[in-house]
Amino acid sequence: MRFLNKFFGDNALAGVDGELVDEMARDLLMAPADLVVAAHAAGAPELMPEMMREIGLDPEAIQAAMPGLYRDMAATCATCPSRDRCEAEMEMGTAGKRVDEFCPNAWTFEGLK
């Protein structure tokens, strides 16, 4: 855990609870350190709460109410193949309108509305 904490100041998992990182890594059958590296490369965990806000969801409330579901979505996001498009759509301000076209979490988000 100390190893992970070294990264939290400036990496893509900043703000993500270390225990959550460990659980996500277990779900993905990855070492926590590998997940940190992958997430850093992808920048994806930062995108999920941003996307949730874009479509009117409250990520903090959902994480508090449904931590297991939130962890599963974050794991999906951490390995998302659509990261580049997601970032581009965020920058264009179109992510929320087009989320169904590219986000592997779209159906889950829809169910949370």
The residue ranges that bind ligand SF4 (CB under 6 A) are 44, 47-48, 51, 76-77, 80, 82-83, 86, 102-105
Q: Of the two residues 8 and 102, which places its CB atom closer to ligand SF4 in the complex?
A: 102
Q: Of the two residues 4 and 48, which places its CB atom closer to ligand SF4 in the complex?
A: 48
Q: How far is the CB of 2 from ligand SF4 (least distance, A)?
A: 28
Q: How far is the CB of 82 from ligand SF4 (least distance, A)?
A: 4
Tokens of 78: 């951490």
45: number of Cβ within 10 Å: 24
Q: Of the two residues 1 and 41, which places its CB atom closer to ligand SF4 in the complex?
A: 41
Q: Of the two residues 25 and 44, which places its CB atom closer to ligand SF4 in the complex?
A: 44
Q: How far is the CB of 30 from ligand SF4 (least distance, A)?
A: 17
Amino acid letter, residue 92: M
Cα separation, 94 vs 100, whole angstroms: 11
Q: How far is the CB of 57 from ligand SF4 (least distance, A)?
A: 11
106 burial level (CB within 10 Å; 0-12, 13-18, 19+): middle
